[in-house]
Structure 1
Amino acid sequence: MRRFIISTLLAGCLSSCTSAPPSTPGDGHVEGPAPVAASCPTQKIAFTRDTGCVNDGSVEFCLPTGDEALLARVRDIAPAIQAGSSRGRARCDVPAETLYLFPTGDAECVARHGALEDAAWDQVCRIAALPEVREIVPTWYE
């Protein structure tokens, strides 16, 4: 009996000791079956992580106008987004859709006109994963 208990305890310890440690808040772990970046819908993003800051200070996307619950979800992902007032490069269907700009400044970019920081890329991926978002494109002012 003692041998059985020791074997069971040893097996339990080995399985818990070899599994990944639990995440802590703020460590970049996204709850769910897999990190969002691993399943990033890149087909909806008109740039890569490495070229994410090659723009005029933001990337943009459209959201349905008046969907406050959706806007709250997006602001939970990326609090710094700002509403625009035109169709933008994302070609929003105004007035049914509103243009939103995700900033690509010093906090989001490794370097000016360089790559997006990991956290910023994760935010872009999470926004792109929303079914209401058709595409995310670089902002270019003319």
Structure 2
Amino acid sequence: MADKIDDSRYFWKARSEDGHFKIGLNDDARVEFGEISSVTFSTNKKEIYDGQDFITIESPNTVSDTTVLHSPESGEVVKYHTELLYHPHLINSSDRVKNWIVEISQNEQAFNELASQLVVTHVNDQSKLEAHNEG
């Protein structure tokens, strides 16, 4: 069995008011890939799984014509942001209202596990920053 591909570094994740979870392209990804000119969904299934093909993008900074990014999370798809198919420039925006890709539903335990991972990452990053500033 092939190892899971971890593209989570390219995405932001946020809980919406209705308890669902939105995923979008983050600033680091936009810097690395440059201006994205095309977006297609690699699946149209109602479930997505962590590490599965998620979206395909076209941009000038990718090695080949297209780059496949892999889902950073598992969950039941509530809604795909299909407007990206017709207006791919929206994914280049830093505005999360415009650049989200998919909205998913996760059980509470999965969300809490993810939230604790994000807090640990933030604390570790903050500690590194403080240590750097002191040194």
Same fold flag (TM > 0.5): no
What is the TM-score normalised by the length of structure 2?
0.25
What is the TM-score normalised by the length of structure 1?
0.24
Higher strand share: 2
Higher helix share: 2
